[in-house]
């Protein structure tokens, strides 16, 4: 029998709050964090909105002694969230032997500077050589790496256990939390910081996600209505940004130190669509596999799941294929499920989005309330499930499923449950 | 529980390095002490401080994949896709490219790499139109005419986990999966996590490993000035000399190392050739400020200890260590300290060597290459030597294999990987019983 893994701390820096409590509060209130995109000059862009983190200064939150050099925007969100999660859990570098603590984070590599690309082009024109280029400064090369922020997190704990850097785009923090769960189950660590950080509000991503038709272009004048998962008038996702980090601990160790246990991680399943780079199969096949694998891994039946935190991006294709998958896995029980998407309020936190969904699930389990999917104005009749439209719902949640899907066809299912001492289901 | 229940074997090896294509060619060259290092020739490396590396000028991905499959892949992803073909063919598993079926839901795919973007050449060319007379970039012009300016597939091709998509789509692989980003740790963690997935029953077969286009000008813009590469371009094939008194840093190499991992009983039932059992996995981290390594290499020591514990072996059981050998002053010294810590009394008698001075450092694929070399050493009963190790540095004292390969028939081996942020991974492999 595997060791049990519990969640004992949460930290978050998101478009709706600069810490986990304020993020949860906003989600329950149905408050949108989407607004004008300010990280780039949007003149000429078809898309001018995003869910941005507001007024966050890492150096006001985290002591400089941790070592905060080379952190770019996404890394500051991740490091801030990790610091909060550790304080929430009451963990520091003396809680366990450093060798028993590790880090698993989903993130994305940095984007090239547009001016640099133009400068290389100019150099090529000037020299007449089409292979001329300009090297990066060493600091730039370090900043480019996605794992610099994870290294800062390890320093907070003086952790010399596993360090996993996952890069599966929009499912990355789902994989990271899942692999951290396995690492503790299998005896590789007693504690793992797990989650993700991302900020794809860059010139490249806003432009190219837009060119692919993945972002909504119809709500530039009404940003808070742009992200509308499962609504009939949905027309694409809204980019968000942020960092969400959880403290995962082996149950007996957590109990021995008297930790406050927020939830238990029960199941993890992954799959591949092997279909198309940017679309999911309309029959929901890959998602069905990851959902079923995670529920089976938890030792549960679909009917045991009370709440699904949907990937729910607000693209026509994802929401249809995800709903199809849910209907196929849950059958008649799908009617009883409550399903909601925090992306309706935050936009899509990409590599950090699955960790945000876990925060949402943990909140629901502990507070008996399920945050809504906002902007549900015209139900999409083809979907027809309970997406908790517009206002939060009181609901006893014992088991929640988190879905995460990504470009490239990587799927993740995670099942978390209320912590029960006897682990009845296991 | 570690070690109980299902066992995991290596039944296929796909290798692409500057030494050759396929594991036979690579093994022959490794044992013969050949070098794939030379002046970088794919472009003019003049802006770089380091102008040597292990390139594959004759590599032609169309030998392993269709033009259609190669439509949205950059150099690194094409190496991964090709190595997957080599590994599957080597394992003798029927697959779609050979007229067989999709590999389906019981086959996993775990990769590690260091990819950042798609092909840059066309992007740089197209972006010239947004250069204002004063040289600055006109973002608004790009935004208005992005559909004309941006190469249509550039963004899709740039997906970091693109190789996961390309391999899964080519072979109909639908099982468990993830993708790690980093240096040598990335591909090694991919193999370790894949082994655990097969062991616990999440998959019956997994393709796992790493790859990198580390010698490309774009990769080199990032690697060149980190202080980890040698600038002794004058030394040519002798520039990369791990553990040597005169070492001055590593060199990059492009390539891929992918393994087919399989549940042992299933492999035996189909009469597969088993190179090695994958018996242990351990990971660690230095918790220092990058790119500095912990002088004690404590993350690495932790990874080795955990890997041996997972394999239920003692250090004295080891007959080979495929080491990291970054070739930097502090990297090699801290590696030796970590190994002496982890191996204890056995440290002076475990043969150690690294393939890197012959292939260059495959960065995202470097740890996976070491795992492949360890599997081949167990399979052939031979331990290759570390090239260019003429005058061993006493600070790096270990039982270094140098000069010529040793035929020692090792029973157990450990393959090491280290990352730029202090990551460390150790994989334990054992000769099949």
Mean pLDDT (chain A) is 96
For A99-108, how does the pLDDT look when each residue is reduced to its tens digit (9 = 90+)?
999 999 999 9
> d(Cα B163, Cα B118) in Å, to the nearest integer?
11
CB proximity B27 to A under 8 Å: no
Q: What is the pLDDT of residue B151?
A: 87
Q: Which residues of A touch B146 (CB under 8 A)?
A: 207-208, 210-211
Residue B78 pairs with which residues in a beta bridge?
A: none
pLDDT of residue B3: 42
A166 to chain B: closest CA residue: B180
Q: Is the pLDDT of residue B44 over 60?
A: yes
For residue B426, the model assigns a pLDDT of 98
Q: Tell me, what's the pLDDT at A139?
A: 80
> Residue B4's pLDDT is what?
54
Residue A377 located in a structural domain:
yes
**Residue B182: which of A45, A147, A155 has the nearest Cβ?**
A147
Do the domain assignments include residue A35?
Answer: yes
Least confident span in A72-81, B5-14, B290-299: B290-299
Could you tell me if B295 lies within 8 Å of chain A, comparing CB atoms?
A: no
User: What span, in angstroms and rounded, lies between the C-alpha atoms of B96 and B300?
Assistant: 40
| Helix residue ranges per DSSP H, A298-352 | 316-330, 343-346
Q: What is the pLDDT of residue B6?
A: 97
Residue A154, chain B, CB below 8 Å: the answer is yes
Does the pLDDT of residue A126 top 90, yes or no? yes
What domains can you pick out in chain B, each with its CATH number?
8-118+158-430 (3.40.47.10), 121-154 (no CATH)
Is A95 part of any domain?
yes
pLDDT, residue A1, reads 58
d(CA B270, CA B165): 28
Give residue B290's pLDDT band: very low, low, confident or very high (50, 70, 90): confident
| pLDDT, mean over chain B | 96
Q: How many CB atoms lie within 10 A of CB A339?
A: 25
Is A208 among the residues known to form the active site? no
Distance of residue B194 Cα from the nearest chain A Cα, in angstroms: 11
Contact state of A132 with B124 under an 8 Å Cβ cutoff: no
Is A137 within the bounds of a domain? no
Contact status of A93 with chain B (Cβ, < 8 Å)? no
Cα dihedral sign, B91-B93-B99-B104: negative
Q: Is residue A117 part of a domain?
A: no
Q: Is residue A129 part of a domain?
A: no
- pLDDT at res. B323: 98
| pLDDT above 90 for A306 | yes
pLDDT for B174 equals 98
Q: In this structure, is residue A57 part of a structural domain?
A: yes
| Count of structural domains within chain A | 1
CA distance A224 to chain B (A): 23
What distance in Å separates the CA atoms of residue B330 and residue A369, rounded to the nearest whole number? 54
Report yes or no: B4 at the A interface, CB cutoff 8 Å: no
- Residues A212-230: what's their mean pLDDT? 98
Structure-token match 């004690």, residue found? B296
Quick check: is A311 catalytic?
Answer: yes
A275 DSSP assignment: S
pLDDT band at A360 (very low <50, low <70, confident <90, very high): very high
CB A15 within 8 A of CB A33: yes
Judged against a pLDDT cut of 80, whether residue A426 lies above it is answered with no
Q: What is the structure's pLDDT at A37? A: 98
B147 CB within 8 Å of a chain A CB: yes
A19 pLDDT higher than 50:
yes
Residue B289 has what pLDDT?
A: 81
Q: What is the pLDDT of residues B48-82, one digit of tens each?
A: 999 999 999 999 999 999 999 999 899 999 999 99
pLDDT at B80: 98
Distances (CA, A) of A87 to A365, B100, B183: 21, 54, 31
CATH of the domain at A345: 3.40.47.10
Q: Which domain holds residue A74?
A: 5-110+145-417
Choose among B128, B175, B290: nearest Cβ to A148.
Answer: B290
**pLDDT class for A425, splitting at 50, 70, 90?**
very low
Q: Look at residues A273, A276, A230 and name the one whose alpha carbon lies nearest to residue A387.
A: A230
Beta-carbon contacts of residue A30 (< 8 Å; ≥ 6 apart): A345, A371, A372, A374, A390, A391, A392
The share of chain A scoring above pLDDT 70, in percent, equals 99
B96 touches A: beta carbon within 8 Å:
no
* A133 within a domain of the structure (yes/no): no
pLDDT, position B338? 98
Kindly report the nearest CA distance between residue B276 and chain A, in angstroms: 22
- Non-local CB neighbours of A336 within 8 Å, separated by 6+ positions: none
Arithmetic mean of pLDDT, B156-179: 97
Q: What is the pLDDT of residue B313?
A: 98
Q: Is the pLDDT of residue A138 over 90?
A: no
Catalytic position from the list A70, A108, A175, A311: A311
For residue range B2-41, list pLDDT tens digits in order. 445 899 999 999 999 999 999 999 999 999 999 999 999 9
What is the average pLDDT across A52-62?
96
Please state the rounded mean pLDDT for residues A295-311: 98
Q: Which residues of B touch A143 (CB under 8 A)?
A: none
């Amino acid at each position: 029998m595997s060791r049990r893994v519990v969640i004992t701390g949460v930290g978050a820096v998101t478009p709706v709050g600069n810490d986990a409590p304020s993020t949860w509060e906003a989600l329950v209130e149905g408050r949108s964090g989407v607004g004008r995109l300010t990280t780039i000059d949007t003149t000429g862009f078809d898309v001018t909105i995003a869910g941005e983190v507001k007024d966050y200064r890492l150096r006001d939150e985290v002591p400089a002694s941790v070592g905060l050099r080379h952190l770019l925007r996404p890394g500051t969100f991740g490091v801030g969230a990790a610091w909060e999660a550790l304080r929430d859990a009451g963990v520091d570098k003396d809680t366990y032997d450093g060798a028993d603590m590790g880090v698993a984070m989903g993130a994305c590599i940095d984007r090239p500077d547009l001016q640099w690309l133009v400068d290389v082009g100019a150099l090529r024109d000037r020299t007449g050589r089409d292979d001329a280029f300009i090297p990066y400064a060493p600091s730039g090369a370090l900043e480019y790496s996605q794992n610099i922020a994870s290294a800062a997190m390890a320093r907070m704990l003086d952790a010399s256990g596993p360090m996993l850097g996952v890069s599966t785009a929009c499912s990355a923090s789902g994989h990271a939390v899942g692999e951290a769960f396995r690492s503790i189950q299998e005896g590789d660590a007693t504690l793992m910081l797990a989650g993700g950080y991302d900020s794809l509000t860059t010139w490249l991503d806003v432009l190219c996600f837009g060119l692919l038709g993945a972002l909504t272009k119809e709500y530039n004048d009404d940003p808070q209505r742009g992200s509308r998962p499962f609504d009939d008038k949905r027309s694409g996702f809204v980019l968000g940004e942020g960092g969400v980090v959880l403290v995962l601990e082996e149950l007996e160790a957590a109990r021995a130190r008297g930790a406050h246990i927020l939830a238990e991680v029960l199941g993890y399943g992954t799959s591949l669509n092997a279909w198309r780079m940017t679309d999911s199969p309309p029959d929901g096949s890959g998602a069905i596999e990851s959902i079923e694998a995670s529920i089976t891994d938890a030792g549960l039946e679909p009917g045991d799941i009370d709440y699904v935190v949907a990937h729910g991006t607000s693209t026509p294709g994802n929401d249809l294929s995800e709903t199809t998958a849910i209907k196929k896995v849950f059958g008649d029980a799908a009617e009883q499920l409550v399903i909601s998407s925090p992306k309706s309020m935050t936009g899509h936190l990409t590599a950090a989005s699955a960790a945000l969904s876990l925060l949402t699930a943990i909140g629901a389990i502990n507070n008996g309330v399920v945050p809504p999917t906002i902007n549900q104005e015209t139900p999409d009749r083809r979907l027809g499930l309970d997406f908790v439209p517009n206002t939060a719902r009181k609901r006893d949640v014992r088991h929640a499923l988190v879905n995460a899907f990504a470009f490239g066809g990587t799927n993740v299912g995670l099942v978390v449950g209320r912590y029960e001492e006897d682990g009845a289901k296991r | 529980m570690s070690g109980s229940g299902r066992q995991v074997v290596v039944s296929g090896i796909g290798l692409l390095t500057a030494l050759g294509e396929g594991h036979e060619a690579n093994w022959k060259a490794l044992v013969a002490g050949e070098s794939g290092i030379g002046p970088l020739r794919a472009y003019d490396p003049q802006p770089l401080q380091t102008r040597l590396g292990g390139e594959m000028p004759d590599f032609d991905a169309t030998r392993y994949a269709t033009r259609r499959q190669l439509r949205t892949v950059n150099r690194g992803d094409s190496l991964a896709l090709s190595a997957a073909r080599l590994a599957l063919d080597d394992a003798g598993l029927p697959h779609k490219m050979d007229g067989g079926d999709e590999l389906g839901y019981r086959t996993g795919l775990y990769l590690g790499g260091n990819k950042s973007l798609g092909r840059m050449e066309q992007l740089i060319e197209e972006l010239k139109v947004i250069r204002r007379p004063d040289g600055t970039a006109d973002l608004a012009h790009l935004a208005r005419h992005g559909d004309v300016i941006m190469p249509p597939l550039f963004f899709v091709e740039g997906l970091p986990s693109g190789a996961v998509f390309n391999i899964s789509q080519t072979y109909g692989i639908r099982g468990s999966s993830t993708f790690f980003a980093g240096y040598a740790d990335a591909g090694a963690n991919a193999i370790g996590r894949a082994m655990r997935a097969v062991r616990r029953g999440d998959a019956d077969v997994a393709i796992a490993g790493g790859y990198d286009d580390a010698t490309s000008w774009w990769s080199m813009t990032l690697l060149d000035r980190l202080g980890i590469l040698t600038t002794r371009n004058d030394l040519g094939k002798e520039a990369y000399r791990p553990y040597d008194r005169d070492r001055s840093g590593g060199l990059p190499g492009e390539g891929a190392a992918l393994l087919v991992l399989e549940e042992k009983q299933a492999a035996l039932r189909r009469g597969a050739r088993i190179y090695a059992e994958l018996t242990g996995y351990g990971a660690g981290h230095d918790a220092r400020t990058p790119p500095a390594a912990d002088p004690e290499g404590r993350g690495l020591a932790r990874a080795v200890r955990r890997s041996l514990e997972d394999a239920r072996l003692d250090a004295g059981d080891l007959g080979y260590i495929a080491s990291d050998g970054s070739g930097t002053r502090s990297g090699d010294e801290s590696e030796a300290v970590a190994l002496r810590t982890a191996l204890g009394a056995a440290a002076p008698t475990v043969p150690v060597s690294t393939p890197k001075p012959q292939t260059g450092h495959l960065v995202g694929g470097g740890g996976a290459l070491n795992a492949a070399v360890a599997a081949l050493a167990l399979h052939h009963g031979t331990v290759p030597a570390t090239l260019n190790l003429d005058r061993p540095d006493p600070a790096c004292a270990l039982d270094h294999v140098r000069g010529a390969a040793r035929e020692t028939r090792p029973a157990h081996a450990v393959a090491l990987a280290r990352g730029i942020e202090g990551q460390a991974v150790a994989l334990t492999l054992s000769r099949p019983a």
